Amino acid sequence: SYARRRDATEFPAEIIVTLVADGEGGPLVFAVVRDITERKRTESARREATDFLTNVTNAIPDPVFVKDEQHRWVLLNDAYCNFMQHRREELIGKSDYDFFPTQEADVFWKRDQIVLDTRLENVNEENFTAADGSTRILLPKKSLYASPSGEKYIVGVISDITERKKAEEELRERDEQLQSILDNSSAMVYVKDKEGRYLKVKRKFEALCGAGHRQLAGKTD
């Protein structure tokens, strides 16, 4: 509520009203008016700072999370909520054990604790079971933030590298297939790029050249 000063200006006030009985049994009203202008300003500034931080993290396309020392989520951006397929209010205050298989949660917890204990950045590939049951491969980058009061938080940014890993595996399989074709050929076969550099070499051709494939790769005649 608001109260008026003597100069007629209004200010936010906290009013505490107490009813007591007078000597004759009638009620007396005692009111204490406290000016809470500064408190309101502080609350407004805190809200503005929180809104700014929320808007900044939501502008980041990758999932972003912040965990406290008990490994509970305290801040999440929209991308993380979409990634988890849960509303923010369903995630805040919860931990990995509330949403992931125990084996996966154990890994997440252990690596989070390394960040808290060492204050060093941690980057590791992690398997993640999505809400639809599919398995994704993640590359979380986790670091430590320590507040002025000494509280420690884990700040993480997640990259989903599932498709990249699939592409790398497909490339490796094609490379092995090509090498097998070359090795099973009766001819002395090799593959060069348009600049004349060796890309793939039949293993028998290596002996002929007196060099291994790793030495020939990227070289010209």
Pairing between β-strand 135-146 and β-strand 126-129 as defined by DSSP bridges: antiparallel
**Phi and psi (nearest 5°) for 220?**
-115, 175
174: phi then psi, degrees, rounded to nearest 5: -65, -35
Using left for φ > 0, alpha for ψ between -120 and 50, and beta otherwise, residue 71 falls in left
Higher pLDDT, 45 or 137: 137
Tell if the pTM clears 0.75, that is, is over it. no
pLDDT tens-place string over residues 93-133: 999 999 988 999 999 999 999 999 999 999 988 888 877 77
35: which residues sit within 8 A by CB, 6+ positions away? 3, 11, 12, 13
Residue 152 one-letter amino acid: K
Using CA atoms in the order 90, 159, 156, 141, what is the torsion angle rounded to 10 degrees?
150
End-to-end CA distance of the chain: 88
Tokens encoding 167: 């592409």
